[in-house]
C-alpha cells in the first residue's frame, strides 16, 4: 500500500494533467483509476473485478477508464517541468541550478531511494556488519563515499535489521553521512550540532570523536531532541548532551561565544534534495516562502558562527539543491564575516572528486546516487575576535 501511495505521489502532476484533459473530477479515487489504467494497463473488465460490491465503479468512472485505454502516463503535450514532476515554485531555481542537466537531475528525483545505513564504530565495524547482512540474505554493499556507510538495494522490513535495536547501525543517507564527516571532529574537542533535530549527524560526529570530548545537540524542537537523546543512549555514546534553544538567538549562544572547535549548522531548508526519499515533500512549498526561509538560514548561520573559537571551523549544510540556500548563502555570510574563509573540499574530503563545486560538497541524486546535499567548511582566523556579525 505504501508503494502505491508513493507511486501516486511521484506521478501527481501527470495524473492531474490527464484528469484535467479529460474533464474528470480530480479526486483521490479518479487518480487511482488513472494510475491503474495509465501505468499498469488495467482495462474496464479488470477494474470491475477490482472494484466490486460496495466499491463498484460508476458509469463516469468506467468512462474515464475507457478514455485512458492505450495511453501511457507521459504525453507529448505535457510541459517538461510537469512531466518531470517539478512544482511551480521550484522550476526557476532548479533550472538556474542545473541548466542543461535539469531534466536528468529531476528524473533522478523520481526514482525510489536505496536504504543507506551507517555503522556505529563504537559498536561494530563495517566488514562485520556487511557479513551479518549477507548472512541474512540481503544484497548489501559498502558505500562509495562514506567510510562507515552500507547500502541495501532492496525493499525490506526494518525488523530484519537487528543492529538497529542494538545501536550497531543507524539509518542515514550516504550524503548525510558525508556532511557529518566534513565536520572532522577530533577526540577531545568541543562541538555543537546547532540544528540537530533527531540527531542523525550528532550520532555520527560523537562516534567520530571516539566518545571523547563533548558535543552538544541543539534545536528549538524539544521532542526531536528527546529522540536524539534516546538514540545516543542506544548507540553507547556518552560524550553528548542535548539543549533546547528558544530561538536562533538564544542567550546560551552569547554565554558560550567562541567556545567550540567545530560548529555544524544543518539549516532548515526547502528539502529539494530529499524528494526521491520523501515524494510528498516536493508538493509542500516552503511554509515561510523561499525568500523568508533564506533569511532565516542567514540569521541562524550568523548566530551559530559566534560559537566558533579562533582557528575553529563552521560547517554550513542543507539538504537542498538550490543556489539561493547554498552557494549564495555562503557568499553572503563570507562578505559579512571576513574573519572566516573557505576550506576547500580537497583538504577535508580529497576522495570526493565528483562534487559539482571545487570548494564545497555538492551531491545530487543523478550524479552521486545520494540525496541532494550541500556543505561548506569555513574556518575562523586564529587571530579573529570571537564576535561574528552581531545578532
Q: Give me 319's grid cell.
A: 539538504
Going by their DSSP bridges, the two strands 214-219 and 373-380 should be labelled as unpaired
User: What is the spatial distance between Cα 366 and Cα 343, in angstroms, rounded to a whole number?
Assistant: 26
Other CB atoms within 10 Å distance of the CB of residue 351: 9
Q: In what order do the strands lie in the sheet containing 149-152?
A: 140-142, 149-152, 115-119, 169-171
3-state SS string over 355-382? CCCCCCEEECHHHHCCCCEEEEEEEECC
H helix runs in the chain, sequence order: 2-10, 12-21, 28-38, 44-50, 59-68, 80-83, 88-98, 102-108, 126-135, 163-166, 174-183, 200-208, 222-234, 251-255, 290-305, 327-336, 345-348, 365-368
User: What is the spatial distance between Cα 262 and Cα 313, in angstroms, rounded to a whole number?
Assistant: 5
Q: How much of the chain is in helix, strand and coil states, percent to nearest 5? A: 45, 15, 40
Q: Which residues are catalytic?
A: 319
Q: Give me 45's grid cell.
A: 473488465
Name the β-bridge partners of 149.
118
User: What is the spatial distance between Cα 62 and Cα 44, in angstroms, rounded to a whole number?
Assistant: 6
Name the β-bridge partners of 247.
none
b/e sequence 129-142, b meaning 16+ C-beta within 10 Å: bbebbeeeebebee
Q: Which of 176, 165, 163, 174 is nearest to 124 (CA)?
A: 163
Q: Which of 245, 236, 189, 248 is nearest to 217 (CA)?
A: 245
Q: Give me 278's grid cell.
A: 520523501
User: What is the spatial distance between Cα 119 and Cα 351, in angstroms, rounded to a whole number?
Assistant: 19
Amino acid at each position: 500500500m505504501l508503494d502505491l501511495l508513493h507511486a501516486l505521489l511521484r506521478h501527481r502532476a501527470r495524473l492531474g494533467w490527464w484528469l484535467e484533459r479529460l474533464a474528470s473530477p480530480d479526486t483521490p479515487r479518479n487518480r487511482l483509476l488513472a494510475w491503474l489504467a495509465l501505468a499498469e494497463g488495467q482495462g474496464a473488465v479488470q477494474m470491475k473485478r477490482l472494484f466490486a460490491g460496495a466499491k463498484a465503479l460508476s458509469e463516469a468512472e468506467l468512462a474515464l477508464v475507457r478514455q485512458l485505454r492505450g495511453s501511457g502516463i507521459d504525453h507529448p503535450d505535457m510541459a517538461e517541468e510537469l512531466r518531470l514532476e517539478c512544482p511551480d515554485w521550484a522550476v526557476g531555481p532548479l533550472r538556474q541550478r542545473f541548466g542543461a542537466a535539469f531534466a536528468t537531475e529531476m528524473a533522478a528525483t523520481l526514482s525510489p531511494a536505496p536504504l543507506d545505513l551507517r555503522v556505529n564504530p563504537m559498536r561494530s565495524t563495517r566488514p562485520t556488519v556487511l557479513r551479518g547482512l549477507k548472512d541474512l540474505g540481503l544484497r548489501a554493499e559498502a558505500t562509495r563515499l562514506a567510510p562507515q556507510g552500507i547500502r541495501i538495494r532492496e525493499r525490506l522490513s526494518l525488523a530484519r535489521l537487528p543492529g538497529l535495536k542494538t545501536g550497531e547501525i543507524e539509518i542515514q543517507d550516504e550524503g548525510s553521512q558525508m556532511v557529518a564527516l566534513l565536520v572532522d571532529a577530533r577526540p577531545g574537542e568541543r562541538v555543537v550540532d546547532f540544528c540537530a533535530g533527531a540527531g542523525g549527524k550528532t550520532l555520527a560526529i560523537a562516534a567520530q570523536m571516539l566518545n571523547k570530548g563533548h558535543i552538544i545537540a541543539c534545536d528549538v524542537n524539544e521532542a526531536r531532541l528527546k529522540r536524539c537523546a534516546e538514540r545516543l543512549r542506544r548507540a553507547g555514546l556518552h560524550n553528548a548532551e542535548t539543549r533546547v534553544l528558544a530561538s536562533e538567538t538564544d542567550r546560551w549562544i552569547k554565554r558560550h561565544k567562541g567556545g567550540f572547535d567545530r560548529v555544524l549548522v544543518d539549516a532548515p531548508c526547502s528539502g529539494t534534495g530529499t524528494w526521491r526519499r520523501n515524494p510528498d515533500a516536493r508538493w509542500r512549498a516552503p511554509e515561510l516562502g523561499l525568500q523568508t526561509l533564506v533569511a532565516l538560514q542567514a540569521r541562524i548561520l550568523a548566530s551559530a558562527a559566534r560559537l566558533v573559537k579562533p582557528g575553529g571551523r563552521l560547517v554550513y549544510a542543507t539538504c537542498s539543491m538550490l543556489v539561493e540556500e547554498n552557494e549564495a548563502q555562503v557568499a553572503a555570510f563570507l562578505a559579512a564575516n571576513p574573519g572566516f574563509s573557505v576550506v576547500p573540499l580537497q583538504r577535508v574530503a580529497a576522495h570526493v572528486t565528483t562534487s559539482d563545486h571545487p570548494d564545497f560538497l555538492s551531491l545530487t541524486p543523478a550524479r552521486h546516487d545520494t540525496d541532494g546535499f550541500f556543505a561548506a567548511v569555513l574556518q575562523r582566523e586564529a587571530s579573529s575576535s570571537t564576535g561574528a556579525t552581531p545578532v
